[in-house]
Amino acid sequence: MNADLSVSLWRGAQDGHYETYRVPQRQSQTVLDVVTFVQRHIDPTLSYRFACRVGVCGSCAMTVNGKPRWTCRTHVAKVAAGGRLEIGPLENLPVIKDLATDMQSFFEKWQQAKGVFAPTKTRHEDIAQIRPDTPARMTADAAIECINCGVCYAACDTVRWNSEYLGPAALTRAWTLVNDERDGGNRARLQAIAGSGGCHACHSHQSCQELCPQALNPTAAIAGLKRRTAAAYLKGEITA
């Protein structure tokens, strides 16, 4: 644990470059600890994003040795082969500065996918009684733990090739609402995700599932959306 880590960090905007720093290696050290050490002890101009440090807020995702990861819960010992770390901003998003990306397009796609709950009752009516053991509710529950970190979006080859593609996170959110029996916006939602940038663009490479820090399965959610939109199309409920 005494040897220093060789840490390359992305500096600058989209046309930036990697700079290498020496950071002391410690026990139970996370990748976020390493970035924070550089910012506090070597270069205070380093820009990066974090908030909770315990895997709840989804702010600190970065590209670590080629793979998108939540840095606050990624231990250096797990990913730093040979004591080397290369930490860059998330891919598939414009770089603002250093390790901070502009996530506007990521969140706009949640809106395009109709990721907003469409209530069927008002506050003056009784609260809906939802059994937790129904198949639909269990399916909705499986995907509801998304923390919007953007790891799946950065890992997705289809997003890289097709800038219109809504991406795994927005579609997983849509799948949660499609299975929520309290929601009344499904026809508009299925219509919104049936276009050329919607769920049918997914190639099922499963990078999202492999790298999701919450162990969610966006690929399965998207497969469910493909079936549901195809059925709605054949019934004439939505158009192409």
Partner 1 sequence: MNVRLYVWQRATAAIMAPLVLIHIAVIFYATRHGVSAADILARTRGSIAWASFYGLFVLAVSIHASIGVRNVLTEWSPLSERHAGACAIIFGLLLALLGMRGVAAVVLP
* Residue ranges that bind partner 1, judged by CB under 8 A: 158, 161-162, 194-196, 198, 200-201, 226, 229-230, 233-234, 238, 240
- Both tokens of 122, joined, read 């008002």
Closest distance of CB 231 from partner 1, Å: 10
d(CA 12, CA 80): 23
Total length of the chain: 240
Radius of gyration of the chain (CA): 20
Of 53 and 200, CB closest to partner 1: 200
Closest distance of CB 160 from partner 1, Å: 9
From 155, 163, 229, 160, select the one nearest 194 (Cα to Cα): 229
195 by Cβ neighbours in 10 Å (0-12 / 13-18 / 19+) ranks as middle
Contact 97, 10 (CB under 8 A): no
From 219, 211, 172, 201, select the one nearest 90 (Cα to Cα): 211
Rounded to 5 degrees, φ, ψ at 20 are: -105, 140
- Both tokens of 193, joined, read 């995700």
d(CA 183, CA 129): 13
d(CA 106, CA 196): 17
Closest distance of CB 233 from partner 1, Å: 5
